[in-house]
């Protein structure tokens, strides 16, 4: 069922129809399917208008900022990437931070977050 919803939203992006994203999990499904269907660029472009109509996604952004950062990098969406990076860096604390541990599986993103923090 999740894939059907994600595919419908990819079609909305391709045909410039309005849609909204309800959660970070849905954003992940959309980015995964967009990668499979070679439509990352169209989905990323459509996100400029979609983010304003997606309160569910924006509410989850502070708590799920690592996942949003990973999806934003995959989509190459600068607005979403910047917002997620701000949330990641604002929560950056000591070496035992779980966000740092989760981000170490993506060395390029870890390096970017660490440089932004410093």
Tell me the pLDDT tens digit for each residue of 60-112: 999 999 999 999 999 999 999 999 999 988 877 766 667 777 888 888 998 99
With both helix axes pointing from N to C terminus, report the angle between 40-50 and 78-90 in degrees, rounded to the nearest 10: 70
- Please tell me whether the overall predicted TM-score, pTM, comes out greater than 0.75 for this model: yes
pLDDT in tens, 26-35: 999 999 999 9
Residue 69 CB: number of other CB atoms within 10 A?
26
Residue 114's pLDDT is: 85
Burial 84-108 (b: 16+ CB within 10 A, else e): bbebbbeebeeeeeebbeebeeeee
């Amino acid at each position: 069922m999740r894939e059907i919803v994600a595919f419908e939203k990819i079609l909305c992006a391709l045909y410039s129809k309005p849609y909204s994203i309800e959660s970070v999990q849905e954003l992940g499904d959309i980015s995964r399917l967009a990668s499979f269907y070679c439509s990352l660029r169209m989905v990323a472009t459509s996100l400029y208008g979609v983010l304003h109509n997606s309160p569910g996604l924006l509410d989850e952004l502070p708590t799920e900022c690592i996942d949003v950062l990973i999806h934003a990098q995959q989509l190459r969406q600068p607005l979403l990437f910047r917002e997620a990076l701000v949330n990641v860096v604002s929560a950056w604390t000591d070496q035992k931070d779980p966000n740092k541990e989760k981000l170490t599986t993506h060395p390029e993103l870890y390096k970017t977050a660490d440089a932004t923090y410093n």
